[in-house]
C-alpha cells in the first residue's frame, strides 16, 4: 500500500498522504457536485465543486488528526494519516495502555467533527443574516452547507459500534474496563462490528436492487471493508492477543 500512497506533507509531525484510490473518489465527487451547480458557468462550477471536494478532504484529515493528537497525549505515536477510497485512517504505533485512553482517543475524531459542523452552522446563519445577496453569498453558503453535512456525517457515522470504527473502539473500551481483559473485549467488539458490517452489506444490496442505483454499492464496499477488518481483528485477538495498529475509516 505504501507504494500506492502519495505523501502530501506533515502536520504536527504526522505524515499525511493519499492512496491513489482516493483520487478517483475526488474526481467523482467533483464531477457529481459540478452537475448540481447549473447556475454557474461550467468552468466556475467545476472549480467550485473541486473546492467543495477538498473541504471533505480537510474534514477527514482534521478528524484523523484529532485521533493522532489525543493519542500522543497518552504516549501513543501516530505513524501516518492516509486517505483512501472509503475514508481515512490514522496508523497508531501501539495500543493505548488503558480503557480510558482507548475511549478518549476514539472519541476525539467525532468530537472535533461535531465541533466543526456546529461552527460551520453558525457561520451559515451569519451569512444568511448579514452577508449581502448575490452569487458570492450563494457559493459560500453552498460550501458552508457542505462542510456542515460532511462533518455531521463524520461525527455520527463513526460512532456506530462497528469495530474498528470509533464507536466500536468505545464499545471495546467499555468492555475492557468491565472485564479487565483487553483481548476478550476486542474479540467481542469485533464480533459486534462483523454483525453491523453484514447489516450494512445486506442493506446496500437490497436498496441497490430495489432502486436500480449503483450509488448504494458504496455501502456494500464499506461493509466489506469493515467485515475484512473485523474478522482480522477478531482472529488476531482470539489467537495471539495482537491486532493491526490501524484506526478506522472516517468517512461514509
Active site residue 93: no
Q: In this model, does residue 251 exceed pLDDT 50?
A: no
For the stretch 100-142, pLDDT in tens is: 999 999 999 999 999 999 999 999 888 877 777 666 677 778 7
Please report the pLDDT score of residue 218 as a whole number: 72
What percent of the chain is modeled with pLDDT above 90?
23
For the stretch 174-199, pLDDT in tens is: 999 999 988 888 888 888 888 988 88
- Please tell me the distance from the alpha carbon of residue 252 to that of residue 68, in angstroms, as a whole number: 20
- Residue in 64, 93, 94, 234 annotated catalytic: 64
For the stretch 39-94, pLDDT in tens is: 677 787 888 888 888 888 889 999 999 999 999 999 998 888 888 766 788 888 88
Please report the pLDDT score of residue 174 as a whole number: 95
Q: In this model, does residue 219 exceed pLDDT 50?
A: yes
Cell of 188: 467481542
- Please tell me the distance from the alpha carbon of residue 162 to that of residue 228, in angstroms, as a whole number: 12
Please report the pLDDT score of residue 122 as a whole number: 93
What residues contact residue 181 under an 8 Å CB cut-off, 6+ apart? Answer: none
Domain locations in the chain as residue ranges: 2-239
- Please tell me the distance from the alpha carbon of residue 167 to that of residue 198, in angstroms, as a whole number: 16
Amino acid at each position: 500500500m505504501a507504494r500506492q500512497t502519495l505523501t502530501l506533507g506533515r502536520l504536527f509531525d504526522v505524515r499525511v498522504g493519499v492512496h491513489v484510490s482516493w483520487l478517483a473518489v475526488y474526481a467523482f465527487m467533483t464531477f457529481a457536485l459540478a452537475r448540481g451547480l447549473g447556475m454557474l458557468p461550467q468552468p466556475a462550477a467545476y472549480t467550485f465543486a473541486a473546492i467543495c471536494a477538498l473541504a471533505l478532504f480537510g474534514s477527514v484529515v482534521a478528524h484523523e488528526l484529532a485521533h493522532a493528537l489525543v493519542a500522543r497525549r497518552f504516549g501513543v505515536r501516530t505513524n501516518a494519516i492516509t486517505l483512501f477510497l472509503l475514508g481515512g485512517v490514522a496508523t497508531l504505533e501501539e495500543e493505548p495502555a488503558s480503557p480510558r485512553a482507548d475511549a478518549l482517543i476514539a472519541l476525539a475524531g467525532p468530537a472535533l467533527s461535531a465541533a466543526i459542523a456546529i461552527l460551520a452552522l453558525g457561520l451559515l446563519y451569519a451569512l444568511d443574516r448579514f452577508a449581502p445577496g448575490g452569487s458570492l453569498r450563494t457559493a459560500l453558503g453552498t460550501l458552508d452547507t457542505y462542510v456542515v453535512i460532511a462533518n455531521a456525517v463524520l461525527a455520527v457515522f463513526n460512532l456506530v459500534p462497528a469495530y474498528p470504527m470509533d464507536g466500536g473502539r468505545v464499545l471495546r473500551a467499555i468492555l475492557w474496563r468491565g472485564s479487565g481483559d483487553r483481548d476478550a473485549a476486542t474479540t467481542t467488539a469485533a464480533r459486534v462490528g462483523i454483525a453491523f458490517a453484514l447489516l450494512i452489506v445486506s442493506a446496500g444490496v437490497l436498496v441497490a436492487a430495489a432502486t436500480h442505483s449503483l450509488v448504494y454499492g458504496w455501502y456494500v464496499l464499506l461493509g466489506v471493508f469493515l467485515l475484512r477488518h473485523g474478522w482480522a481483528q477478531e482472529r488476531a485477538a482470539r489467537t495471539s492477543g495482537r491486532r493491526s495498529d490501524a484506526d478506522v475509516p472516517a468517512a461514509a
